[in-house]
Amino acid sequence: MVPHLVTALKGPLLDLEKKILDATPAIERWFRMEWQEHTPPFYCSVDLRNAGFKLAPVDTNLFPGGFNNLLPEMLPLAVQAAMAAIEKICPDAKNLLMIPEQHTRNTFYLQNIARLSAIMRHAGLNVRLGSLSPDITEPTTVELPDGQQLVIEPLERTSRRLGLKNFDPCSILLNNDLSTGIPPILENLHEQYLLPPLHAGWAVRRKSQHFACYDDVAKKFAKLIDVDQWMLNPYFTKCSGVDFQHSTGEECLADSVDALFKKINKKYREYGIEEKPFIVIKADAGTYGMGVMTVRDAAEVKHLPRKERNRMSVAQEGLPVSDVLLQEGVHTFEKINEAVAEPVVYMIDRYVVGGFYRVHTGRAVDENLNAPGMHFVPLAFEHTALPDVHAKPGAAPPNRFYMYGVVARLALLAASLELERTDPDQEVY
């Protein structure tokens, strides 16, 4: 299970790795101070792309699935982080209600839920599962491939609180990204902690908002360690009112793509990068890699084939797309057994608790890997040990994983700012 990784770290990123390793105490202190001001979301996973000359987060998920892809031996880190989180939120917490996604037949996803339940149980909580699905009208047992069982129960709502039959939780952990909107049953809860809050769901979240916050974070961090923030931060812009079906908003798209390519080309020239730049167009809301398109030339968006238009016009859960994010593409130059790979970093509270590689044998270095056919390779232990400042730059897996953990935490911090700025009750801050 130890991934054999081929990474072509090039000049600028070797320099970044060295700067990050040398500045470790300053970086960790900086995070510590930032977390005094900002509250991290309960958990988070971040997809990174490592282009050798550039390293950046491309997706920040506030309802991470995939905990089952972490190595079991690394779970004590997750438990410890969950303990620290609970202690801050609700020190006398006893019961936790977890609300999973509704597609209960996906056993991979259910293994994620089983794993999360185990983590929360070991952090000192009685965990039970409640479903938003109207099909769950009584406790329903689901068998998992490894012989474990999950019991999913119908939710019970009183005027003030949400729970299950004979189960009144102090906290509610959402593992459901609310793409279809905020269910009324979750609204107006009193004295119950909803983790993460409702506005972390895709009913409210926008990628453009997240990356605007990431801009602020990356700028500050780049100054701290004295690098060009472009090393960590892809350019992006946003187009509103796009209708792919009816070719509305193509003008804005083409102009924006054009302007973005100009900025990217300038940077590529500055650093002598000979790769072909590309732009990724994504729905501004939603996840799961739906509604994502790679563009290598501005002309492409003006002559989209019908199939591509159809594909881009709906995001997750069949919701129509009208706002899109245009983001500088970051190649992924990591490979496992010749297949293109990108690291995914998992965090609970402010702590990195593990990660894995998302691998796709059928995709190219400038394509989205979050697509059917992908598989996962856990990061081996050797990757998660303490960095070795004395190792040759680019040669030590723990050093690279430390750098990944730092950049993933920048995205985590951006998510914290994002949740502050989009909080409907922000007057309470």
In angstroms, what is the C-alpha Rg of the chain?
Answer: 21
Is 7 strand, coil or helix?
Answer: strand
Pairing of strands 171-175, 156-157: unpaired
**Residues from 163 through 222 that contact a second copy (CB under 8 A):** none
Q: How far apart are CA 429 and CA 413, in angstroms?
A: 17
Q: At what angle do helices 107-122 and 75-89 cross, to 10 degrees?
A: 60
Identify the residue among 22, 382, 421, 426 touching a second copy (CB under 8 A).
382
- Write out the DSSP string of 84-151: HHHHHH-TT--EEEEEE-S-TT-HHHHHHHHHHHHHHHHTT-EEEEEE--TT--S-EEEE-TTS-EEE
Residue 38 near a second copy by CB under 8 A: no
Give the Cα-Cα-Cα angle 195, 199, 204 (nearest 5 degrees).
145
- C-beta of 92: minimal distance to a second copy in Å? 6
Identify the residue among 20, 51, 55, 93 touching a second copy (CB under 8 A).
93
Taking the least distance from each CB to a second copy, the nearer of 29 and 276 is 29
Identify the residue among 79, 155, 174, 412 touching a second copy (CB under 8 A).
79
Q: How far apart are CA 414 and CA 230, in angstroms?
A: 16
- C-beta of 196: minimal distance to a second copy in Å? 21
Pairing of strands 351-360, 55-61: unpaired
Number of residues that bind a second copy (CB under 8 A): 48
Is 195 strand, coil or helix?
Answer: strand
Identify the residue among 15, 18, 39, 84 touching a second copy (CB under 8 A).
84
Residue 73 near a second copy by CB under 8 A: yes
**Residues from 383 through 402 that contact a second copy (CB under 8 A):** 384-387, 390
Give the Cα-Cα-Cα angle 264, 270, 275 (nearest 5 degrees).
55
Identify the residue among 2, 11, 76, 362 touching a second copy (CB under 8 A).
76
Taking the least distance from each CB to a second copy, the nearer of 211 and 356 is 356
- C-beta of 126: minimal distance to a second copy in Å? 5
Taking the least distance from each CB to a second copy, the nearer of 21 and 283 is 21
Burial of 133 (0-12, 13-18, 19+ CB in 10 A): middle
**Residues from 302 through 331 that contact a second copy (CB under 8 A):** none
- Cα distance between the two ends of the chain: 46
Identify the residue among 124, 154, 183, 394 touching a second copy (CB under 8 A).
124
Residue 27 near a second copy by CB under 8 A: yes
Give the Cα-Cα-Cα angle 384, 11, 296 (nearest 5 degrees).
95
Identify the residue among 42, 63, 230, 351 touching a second copy (CB under 8 A).
351
Residue 230 near a second copy by CB under 8 A: no
Task: Order across the sheet with 236-239: list the strands.
Answer: 236-239, 324-328, 279-283, 292-295
- C-beta of 345: minimal distance to a second copy in Å? 13
Residue 140 near a second copy by CB under 8 A: no
Residue 94 near a second copy by CB under 8 A: yes
Residue 410 near a second copy by CB under 8 A: no
Which residues form the interface with a second copy (CB under 8 A)? Answer: 24-33, 35-36, 72-73, 75-77, 79-81, 83-84, 86-87, 91-94, 118-119, 121-127, 147-148, 351-352, 381-382, 384-387, 390
